[in-house]
Amino acid sequence: MLRVSFLCLLLGAATGQAQDRTGLKTSVAVDLVGEYGTKAGSQANDKFVPRSVEMMFYAPVDHLFDARVSAAAHQENGQAMFEVHEAYISSDKMVDGVKWRMGQFFLGFGRLNRFHQHEWPFISVPKVQSTFFDDEGLFDSGVEVSYLTPLPFFLDVTAGMSNGYVYGHAHNAGTKPISPLAWMHLKSFFSLGALDFQPGLSLVQHTASDGTARSLAGFDLTGKLRKGKVLRFFWQSEMWQRSYTAAGGSEEISTGAYFYPQYGFDNGITLGMRVDYLTVNSLRDASGKKVVNSESALVPQLGYRPSEFSNLRLAYRFEQKELQPQAAESNEVVEFQITYMLGAHPAHDF
Amino acid sequence: MISKSLKILVVLSGLFLASSSFAALQVVATTTNVAALVKAVGGENVEVYSLTKGNQDAHYMDAKPSFIMRAARADLVVSVGLELEIGWLPAMISGARNPKIMPGQEGSLVLGDHVKPLEIPKGAISRDQGDVHPDGNPHFMLDPVRAGKLALVVAKRLTALAPKDGAYFNKNAQAFKSRMDEGAKVWAAAIKKAGIKQIFTYHKTLSYFLQRMDVNAVGYIEPKPGVPPTASHVLSLIKSAKQKKVQLILVEHLYETAIPKRIQKEVNGMKVASVPVLVGAEPDVNSLYSLYESLVKSLQ
């Protein structure tokens, strides 16, 4: 009851005014998702639900600091949960070339992890993301600093450290880790004619209280070709390799990736295709022989974007799981999504 | 040996400092029209870079890292304002981490704060009305008289940043303003002589220019700003063109001519002209003066 009242209060405040005279901007983003399995025994939800309702508040605090708060209600195991996603203070005005933030935020590495789920270009979570970082990505309390290097080309270096009491999505306080969550992201930029690309390199490290150790290295690439108001071509991909050692166990090496090219037609219609792949490289059988294994997916997607404030998407997800010598298993799911945003205009990061 | 190296270092440092102190002001403009205005005022004493090109619509851009790089090294960022660049400029400024160009600083000039805008929406506004600009139409750079007045604003800001060049900037600004004021009179007379009083345009890009030239836009291909035309809206435009005897559709070069040409087929004597609305849209449109001349020609 308390949760619902708080939600109503926030919604009322958020939708009442997009920006007040102190510069406070408010917005509400709603992400409605439906998925239906087309085969018997499918693990699809077979229902249409609000995946998340997120309220965002941001404003300058004073002449030096800016701040942001976002809180989301989302579905978890059939129950509506409410949680703070972001609550941080930041500044880009104190030191030339430096931007920093302190508080709770989505950690600034990779590509998907830097964006809220309702801003992603596709509906479902790529397997590599859900396996390595959890569905929504990693968010935690800590400090992050990014520096725009004074080089003749664009090179932005971001590094951060957070509590690391939990890794991934959790509704508990967690326990003190052996080493906190630390990450680094290098971003650059280049153009091929009208086609712009932003490549990035990431490193993530964490050792939990029970000794479970994770070390990840990734490469992300985003490409855009814009013609007038139409995003004619869009590319997003990430490739990750993870070293994972469970408490008292041996090291497991996994590699995963997703690739998403998308073509935009003049009237707001887009056509894209996501390819997912994940494998445990170090998996061996009793004789020490490498076991062929993979999880893959093909996800063609049709989208309609009447404006930058709403999106309608329809996708078909064909998944396959292979673990030799067993026969491969497949799953087919129809997905659809409606996202919309009320309130303040979102700024377009590249 | 060390002494020789030190001497070379001192000489190189001196050269670097000398080149720094005489370097032109680095100005970043959000559109080619703004860049042309700053260039007209700043002349050789400024280096101006336009973030968007003549074929790009400043409504729809991203805070590209290449923009961030430019802004990080700029002494001044000149923008249109009135929410034209709201989707990307704040992210670019923040990404640049350059204290000189932060909002409110000397290195940030928003031209929209210095004009009296047209088409300020009345009453409650919502996104149901399309891409409405709550503070008014941001396409004021297409009015030669307003551009002339803005030249003085630019000169004042450049003078604040480079006081020693103040006289030069002011002289250029006054000359630019006089040329625009004179030009506006000549162009209005030429259009009046041509007899065109009512036209359609695609978007509300030409409002300021048309008001200055005493021509009325009586219909728009977009049913609402930023919203693509529907079949029923096209039919209503055909009916309206016949009733009001509209004989010309000006299509801003950022838009397709397919739908205006469909209307042309249904209305006797209707002409469709694609017109540049940004400097650099066509090879011979390389200044604000040539841009206005090109617009005038399309109405003759």
pLDDT, residue B198, reads: 96
- Say if residue B45 is in the same domain as residue B150: yes
Q: Which of A67-76, A96-105, B98-107, B185-194 has the lowest mean pLDDT?
A: A67-76
pLDDT, residue B5, reads: 53
A90: closest chain B residue by CA: B94
pLDDT, residue B212, reads: 97
Distance CA A264, CA A225 (A): 10
Would residue B33 count as lying in a domain?
Answer: yes
Would residue B5 count as lying in a domain?
Answer: no
Beta-carbon-side half-sphere exposure of residue B76 (alpha carbons within 13 Å): 28
Total length of chain B: 300
Distance CA B167, CA A140 (A): 55
CATH of the domain at B259: 3.40.50.1980
Summarised one tens digit per residue, pLDDT across range B195-232 is: 999 999 999 999 999 999 999 999 999 999 989 899 99
Would residue B4 count as lying in a domain?
Answer: no
pLDDT, residue B126, reads: 87
- Say if residue B285 is in the same domain as residue B216: yes
Q: What is the 3-state secondary structure (H, E, C) of chain B?
A: CHHHHHHHHHHHHHHHHHHHHCCCEEEEECCHHHHHHHHHHHHHHEEEEECCCCCCCCCCCCECHHHHHHHHCCCEEEECCCCCCCCCHHHHHHHHCCHHHCCCCCCEEEHHHHCCCCCCCCCCCCHHHCCCCCCCCCCHHHCHHHHHHHHHHHHHHHHHHCHHHHHHHHHHHHHHHHHHHHHHHHHHHHHHHHCCCEEEECCHHHHHHHHHCCCEEEEECCCCCCCCCCHHHHHHHHHHHHHHCCCEEEEECCCCCHHHHHHHHHCCCCEEEEECCCCCCCCCCCCHHHHHHHHHHHCC
Would residue B11 count as lying in a domain?
Answer: no
The alpha carbon of residue A102 is apart from the nearest alpha carbon of chain B, in Å, by 16
pLDDT, residue B215, reads: 97
Type of residue at A207 = T
Q: With contact defined as beta carbons under 8 Å apart, do B215 and B176 qualify?
A: no
Q: In which domain, by residue range, is B105 found? A: 17-178
What DSSP designation does A345 have? P
Q: With contact defined as beta carbons under 8 Å apart, do B51 and B32 qualify?
A: no
Does residue A7 have a pLDDT over 80? no
pLDDT, residue B1, reads: 45
Q: Which residues of B touch A196 (CB under 8 A)?
A: 64, 66
A223: closest chain B residue by CA: B64
Q: With contact defined as beta carbons under 8 Å apart, do B211 and B143 qualify?
A: yes
**Which 110-139 residues of chain B touch chain A by CB within 8 A?**
127, 131
What average pLDDT score do residues A264-284 get?
95
Distance CA B46, CA B107 (A): 13
Q: Which residues of B touch A148 (CB under 8 A)?
A: 68-69, 72, 95-97
How far, rounded to the nearest angstrom, does the alpha carbon of residue B78 sit from its chain's CA centroid? 11
| Residue A49: count of CB within 10 angstroms of its CB | 15
Q: State the sign of the Cα–Cα–Cα–Cα dihedral A162, A165, A166, A172.
A: negative
- Say if residue B217 is in the same domain as residue B88: no
A148, A189, A235, A341: best to mutate for the B interface, most B CBs within 10 A: A148
- Say if residue B167 is in the same domain as residue B189: no
The alpha carbon of residue B90 is apart from the nearest alpha carbon of chain A, in Å, by 7
Distance CA A219, CA A206 (A): 19
Would residue B2 count as lying in a domain?
Answer: no
- Quickly state the pLDDT bin for B14 (edges 50, 70, 90): very low
- Say if residue B202 is in the same domain as residue B166: no
Distance CA A144, CA A136 (A): 19
Summarised one tens digit per residue, pLDDT across range A96-124 is: 999 999 999 999 999 999 999 999 999 99
Summarised one tens digit per residue, pLDDT across range B165-182 is: 999 999 999 999 999 999
Summarised one tens digit per residue, pLDDT across range B78-93 is: 999 999 999 999 999 9
- Quickly state the pLDDT bin for A80 (edges 50, 70, 90): confident
Count of domains observed in chain B: 2
CB contact (8 A) between residue A98 and residue B97: yes
Q: What percent of chain A has a predicted confidence (pLDDT) above 70?
A: 94
Distance CA B139, CA B205 (A): 6
The alpha carbon of residue B297 is apart from the nearest alpha carbon of chain A, in Å, by 25
Q: Which of A17-26, A280-289, B35-44, B85-94 has the lowest mean pLDDT?
A: A17-26
- Quickly state the pLDDT bin for A21 (edges 50, 70, 90): confident
Q: Which residues of A touch B69 (CB under 8 A)?
A: 148, 153-154, 189
Parallel, antiparallel, or unpaired for β A25-37 and A329-343?
Answer: antiparallel
pLDDT, residue A308, reads: 87
Question: Of B124, B153, B178, which residue constitutes the final position of a domain?
Answer: B178
Q: Give, rounded to a whole angstrom, the gap between the first and last alpha carbons of chain A.
A: 40
Q: Where are the domains of chain A?
A: 92-343
Q: What percent of chain B has a predicted confidence (pLDDT) above 90?
A: 84
Parallel, antiparallel, or unpaired for β A79-91 and A98-106?
Answer: antiparallel
Question: Of B178, B210, B234, which residue constitutes the final position of a domain?
Answer: B178
- Say if residue B242 is in the same domain as residue B164: no
pLDDT, residue A18, reads: 54
CB contact (8 A) between residue B91 and residue A347: yes
- The pair of three-digit structure tokens given for residue B182, joined into one six-digit string: 């004179």
Summarised one tens digit per residue, pLDDT across range A335-348 is: 999 999 998 866 77
Does residue B6 have a pLDDT over 50? no
Parallel, antiparallel, or unpaired for β A293-307 and A195-207?
Answer: unpaired
Q: In CATH, what class is A92-343? A: mainly beta
Distance CA B111, CA B58 (A): 15
- Say if residue B164 is in the same domain as residue B200: no
Does residue B20 have a pLDDT over 80? no
> B96 — contact with chain A (CB < 8 Å)?
yes
CB contact (8 A) between residue A148 and residue B97: yes
**Residue B152: Cβ-neighbour burial (10 angstroms; 0-12, 13-18, 19+):** middle
Question: Of B146, B178, B210, which residue constitutes the final position of a domain?
Answer: B178
- Say if residue B130 is in the same domain as residue B51: yes
CB contact (8 A) between residue A99 and residue B65: no
The alpha carbon of residue A308 is apart from the nearest alpha carbon of chain B, in Å, by 10
Would residue B6 count as lying in a domain?
Answer: no
3 state SS of A107: coil
What average pLDDT score do residues B57-83 get?
95
- Bigger pLDDT: A77 vs A245: A245
Question: What residues have CB less than 8 Å from B67, skipping those under 6 apart?
Answer: B28, B51, B88, B92
Q: What percent of chain A has a predicted confidence (pLDDT) above 90?
A: 79
Distance CA A206, CA A201 (A): 17
- Bigger pLDDT: A344 vs A1: A344
Distance CA B207, CA B175 (A): 25
Q: Is the preceding omega at residue A306 within 30 degrees of 0, hence cis? A: no
Distance CA B8, CA A341 (A): 60
Q: Tell me the sheet residues that pair with A61.
A: none
Does residue A64 have a pLDDT over 80? yes
CB contact (8 A) between residue B97 and residue A196: no
pLDDT, residue A27, reads: 94
Q: With contact defined as beta carbons under 8 Å apart, do A31 and A341 qualify?
A: no
What average pLDDT score do residues B263-292 get?
96
CA–CA distances in Å: residue B277 to residues A96, A128, B56, B182, B252: 36, 46, 11, 20, 6
Instruction: Compute the mean pLDDT over every residue in chain A, rounded to the nearest whole number.
Output: 91
Does residue A10 have a pLDDT over 80? no
Instruction: Compute the mean pLDDT over every residue in chain B, rounded to the nearest whole number.
Output: 92
A131 phi-psi bin (left φ>0, alpha ψ -120 to 50, beta other): alpha
CB contact (8 A) between residue B87 and residue A229: no
SS3 content of chain A, % helix, strand, coil (to 5): 10, 60, 30
* Residues of A engaging B, defined by a Cβ cutoff of 8 Å: 92-93, 95-99, 148, 150, 153-154, 156, 187-189, 191, 196, 198, 224, 226, 228-229, 266-268, 307-309, 345-350
> B282 — contact with chain A (CB < 8 Å)?
no
A199: closest chain B residue by CA: B65
